[in-house]
Amino acid sequence: MARFCTLCSSSGGNASYVGTAAEGVLIDAGWNNKQLLLGLENVGISPDSIKAIFITHEHKDHVSALKVFAGARNIPVYATGGTLSGLLNEGIINGKFPYEKIMPEGVTIGNMHISYFPTSHDAKESCGYKIELPDRSVGICTDTGKMTGEILRTLGSCDLVLLESNYDEQLLDFGPYPPYLKARIRSEIGHMSNPLCADTARELLSMGVRRFVLGHLSRENNHPERAFACTNSALKHMGAQRGVDYLLDVAPVGAMDKFITF
């Protein structure tokens, strides 16, 4: 059996746990150390069972807890070369924990294999991850302004996918952000809108993915109900039934109160 939960998920902070009963990894370490520890405690997972942390990119909402969390336990950190250089520049990699560049063939940690795929985002070398456990696999895809064939192919073979549903187009249009920021979010190196998320989920369902968690919702430009409704109605339009043909959840801003087993 595999376990998945988000410890935080929004434009303010992102971290996900993927593992088995024995061990696991974190994808990103945003928000703060206390939030990550509370989130893990909430679901009954010991921080000592975390064997590695994989970082998608160097933006603050993905790394703000990294220095303290990884440093306190000497947890190895993996990322692309570009992301590592960003973390070094900002002093987040500070000699208190080991780090390594992830290679195209991925890395095996215990009985997990983790590989990455490029995303389209305004960071040095952003990526998403696929985590293969003994009998299940998980895809994590946030912070991408466009969906590519490579991302779809990778996620299409996963049992559970965490997919970004960052913004509602109307809320962004009429929201408080300045024009340059709105343009950045909408661009091909920005974030996934609710409709792009819905289109992606439709493709993935047709490829056999059955379990979706929507995440990285903007707190200013989205609502959980809007994100859910957009993807859910797209899947329903395919004739699929929630609870029968697919499972769909929206990750809370804070930690999930229990992990998903699948």
- Name which position in 28, 58, 132, 143 contacts Zn ion (CB under 5 A): 143
Can you tell me whether residue 25 is helix, strand or coil? strand
Minimum CB distance to Zn ion, residue 216 (Å): 6
| Residue 3 backbone dihedrals phi, psi, to 5 degrees | -125, 140
Q: Residue 246: CB partners within 8 Å, gap ≥ 6?
A: 205, 209, 210, 211, 212, 235, 240
Interface with Zn ion in residues 158-177 (CB under 5 A): none
Does residue 132 belong to the site contacting Zn ion (CB under 5 A)?
Answer: no
Minimum CB distance to Zn ion, residue 25 (Å): 18
Q: Number of residues in contact with Zn ion, rule: CB under 5 A?
A: 3
Does residue 67 belong to the site contacting Zn ion (CB under 5 A)?
Answer: no
Does residue 61 belong to the site contacting Zn ion (CB under 5 A)?
Answer: yes
- Among candidates 66, 215, 41, which has minimal Cα distance to 138? 215
Minimum CB distance to Zn ion, residue 239 (Å): 33
Does residue 59 belong to the site contacting Zn ion (CB under 5 A)?
Answer: yes
Minimum CB distance to Zn ion, residue 57 (Å): 6
Can you tell me whether residue 72 is helix, strand or coil? helix
Nearer to Zn ion by Cβ, of 54 and 246: the residue is 54
Polymer length of the chain: 262
Nearer to Zn ion by Cβ, of 57 and 211: the residue is 57
Nearer to Zn ion by Cβ, of 137 and 144: the residue is 144
Give the C-alpha separation, 129 to 126, whole Å: 10
Minimum CB distance to Zn ion, residue 121 (Å): 6
What is 126-142 written as a DSSP string?
Answer: -EEEEEE-SS-EEEEE-
Give the C-alpha separation, 177 to 34, whole Å: 29
Interface with Zn ion in residues 13-32 (CB under 5 A): none
Using CB under 5 A, list all residues that contact Zn ion: 59, 61, 143
